[in-house]
Amino acid sequence: MVPPRTPADQLKAAALALFAQRGVDAVTVRQIAEAAGQKNHAAVGYHFGSKDELVRQVIIHGARLIDDLRNNLLDEMEARGGPHTLFDVADCLVRSSLPAADPPWSDCYNRFVVSLQLSNRRLFMDAREGRWYSGFERCLAHARRLRPDVTPDLMNQRLVFMGAALGGILSAREGELADKSRPHPTWTAPETLDRVAHALAAILAG
């Protein structure tokens, strides 16, 4: 059973959804409090001190979820002697980027991150402080291991391209699925995430 959300958790979840939809700069603390069902419009200041700190906590919350999931998936794969292929690596990256058991983080976080990095990459990087990358770095290490024939410079370039594609594709998926006015067969098909992983693996394979 998922424990009930605290008021601070409710504010983070509401902020994430609004930030993903409108961008950080277009959302006020009053709107966040109202979306979280908080009658006191000073709730953001009470729980976080400032909007900037709330943004930081939203970044950190999602980064931790993804990194924990990614490391758990890798632990399971490594226990079986894997990852065995570049697809295995890409599939781990895709599925760990969608912590499905914890919406709205599974529904909005990639869209939020991509938007924030375009508008204020420094804020995103400062919030991370070099942390919660261990699972991602493990995936990159496996990609390098699986293609020892590729020079380090070329593999590093492919990894950059793959990382950008991962964020862009998942952000686009979240944006489309947020539109409830019509069906989205491309994004809801059972095989879609596998195909995303295959596309990312192709970037790594060159």
Confirm whether 28 is domain-assigned. no
Confirm whether 181 is domain-assigned. yes
The domain in which residue 107 lies consists of 61-205
Q: Report the chain's mean pLDDT, rounded to a whole number.
A: 93
pLDDT in the model for residue 101: 64
Confirm whether 52 is domain-assigned. no
Say yes or no to pLDDT of 2 above 70. Answer: no
Range 40-48 average pLDDT: 92
Range 179-197 average pLDDT: 94
pLDDT in the model for residue 105: 84
Confirm whether 25 is domain-assigned. no
- Number of domains present in the structure of the chain: 1
- Under the banding of pLDDT at 50, 70 and 90, the label for residue 59 is very high
- SS3 annotation, the chain: CCCCCCHHHHHHHHHHHHHHHHCHHHCCHHHHHHHCCCCCCCHHHHHHCCHHHHHHHHHHHHHHHHHHHHHHHHHHHHHCCCCCCHHHHHHHHHHHCCCCCCCCHHHHHHHHHHHHHHHHHHHHHHHHCCCCCHHHHHHHHHHHHHCCCCCHHHHHHHHHHHHHHHHHHHHHHHHHHCCCCCCCHHHHCCCHHHHHHHHHHHHHHC
Confirm whether 24 is domain-assigned. no
pLDDT in the model for residue 5: 79
- Dump pLDDT digits (tens) for 76-132: 999 999 999 999 999 999 999 997 667 788 899 999 999 999 989 899 999 988 889
Confirm whether 29 is domain-assigned. no
Confirm whether 47 is domain-assigned. no
CATH code of the domain containing 116: 1.10.357.10
pLDDT in the model for residue 1: 38
Confirm whether 130 is domain-assigned. yes
- Dump pLDDT digits (tens) for 18-35: 999 999 999 999 999 999
* Contact present, 51 and 41 (Cβ < 8 Å): no
pLDDT in the model for residue 4: 60
